[in-house]
Amino acid sequence: MDYQSISVAPLSGAMGAEISGVDLSKNLSNQVFTEIHQALLENLVIVFHDQYLTPEACKLVAQKFGKLVKYPFVEGLHQHPEIFEIRKEPDEKKNFGGNWHSDMSFTELPPMGTMLYSLEVPSKGGDTMLTNLYLAYESLSEGLKSLLEDMEAEYSAALKHAGGRRNVMNATRFDVANLDRAEESFYHPIVRKHPETGQKALYISSGHLLRFKDMRVEESKPLLDFLKNHATQPDFTCRVKYRKGTLVLWDNRCTQHRALNDYHGERRVMHRLTIGATEF
């Protein structure tokens, strides 16, 4: 598409774009919003640098895309329960979101998008990697595509948050909530048709994926391991680099991401907002 009101610069050959020419603290005109929305659908993740936004302003931007939903296992900010802070302190080793996943795939209706706004970034490192699940699907053989066409998989947060594994969440840092609900699971199709683009994606969310429906874990594992590796090959990815005041928005319906943990000894602070979906 030709953009009239914004500039769109690709981040890699696979996905992602940096958008300039927009001040997100101002009211977005319909024209500008339509172009930003189009840029998200075409690039799967969009990045805006040098934005100076209050939590209210972040919420206004996110709400243009849909209704905000809460992340079930972490308490939000006192004044803004829809926002939670992702913080890693210099003395901490674990990070949040460090394995490949698509956000909240363990819920009944996973969110359409996630927004991160950087408040404090390390002097180097702390990037987010993302992967394009349309490319992951398109590059499969016709045989494997048809085998997967009607398969569903079971997703659960149990791998991350259940029982004794609460330390995975940096429980010292986060106000962990609802851990009893981490054992719930839901089924989703592996081949997912994106409701807005109509394109098929290989909906893999590695960290939350337990097994195929009606199969045992050990039966599912070899093919799931293949798909998990396949979906994260470097050729399908891009890397988002932050400065203070970077706002990032990704589409969870056709991507996975992982937070790199290569900045021990430094602080990184993000505000995270989650945008709900109306259909799968």
Q: Which of 161, 257, 258, 268 is catalytic?
A: 257
The site string for Mn ion over 180-219 (x = CB under 5 A, - otherwise) reads: ----------------------------------------
- Determine how many CB atoms are found less than 10 A away from the CB of residue 90: 11
Query: Of 176 and 270, which CB lies nearer to ligand OGA in the complex structure?
Result: 270
Provide the minimum distance between the beta carbon of 195 and ligand OGA in the complex, in angstroms, as a whole number.
21
For 189, the token pair is 């199709």
Q: Is 114 in the site for ligand OGA (CB under 6 A)?
A: yes
131 binds ligand OGA (CB under 6 A): no
> Which option in Mn ion, ligand OGA, none does residue 259 bind, with CB closer than 5 to 8 A by kind?
ligand OGA
Q: List the alpha helices (DSSP H) in the chain.
A: 30-43, 55-63, 133-138, 142-148, 158-161, 217-231
Residue 272 designated active-site:
yes
Q: Which residue has the tokens 């943990």?
A: 261
Burial grade of 45 (CB within 10 A; 0-12, 13-18, 19 or more): buried
Is 272 a binding residue for ligand OGA by CB under 6 A? The answer is yes
- Determine which one of 87, 161, 271, 272 is catalytic: 272
Cβ atoms of 205 and 155 within 8 Å: the answer is yes
Examine the residue annotation and report whether 188 is marked as an active-site residue of this protein: no
> 75-134: which residues touch Mn ion (CB under 5 A)?
97, 103
Which CA distances in Å does 113 have to 44, 66, 116, 198, 212? 10, 9, 10, 17, 25
Known catalytic membership, residue 101: yes
Q: Residue 188: which of 227, 153, 213 has the closest Cα?
A: 153
C-alpha angle 70-93-232 in degrees, rounded to nearest 5: 65
Residue 110 makes contact with ligand OGA by CB under 6 A: no
| From candidates 14, 270, 273, 275, binder to ligand OGA by CB under 6 A | 270
Site string for ligand OGA, 56-95 (x = CB under 6 A): ------------------------------x---------
Of 103, 127, 211, 258, catalytic:
103
If we measure between CA atoms, which residue out of 91, 127, 74 comes closest to residue 274?
A: 74
87, 101, 211, 258: the catalytic one is 101
- Which DSSP category does 226 fall into? H
Residues 44, 41: Cα–Cα separation, whole Å:
6
Q: Does the active-site annotation cover 80?
A: no
Which of 194, 211, 253, 257 binds ligand OGA (CB under 6 A)? It is: 257
User: Which residues would be at the binding site for Mn ion (CB under 5 A)?
Assistant: 97, 103
Residues identified as active-site: 101, 103, 257, 272
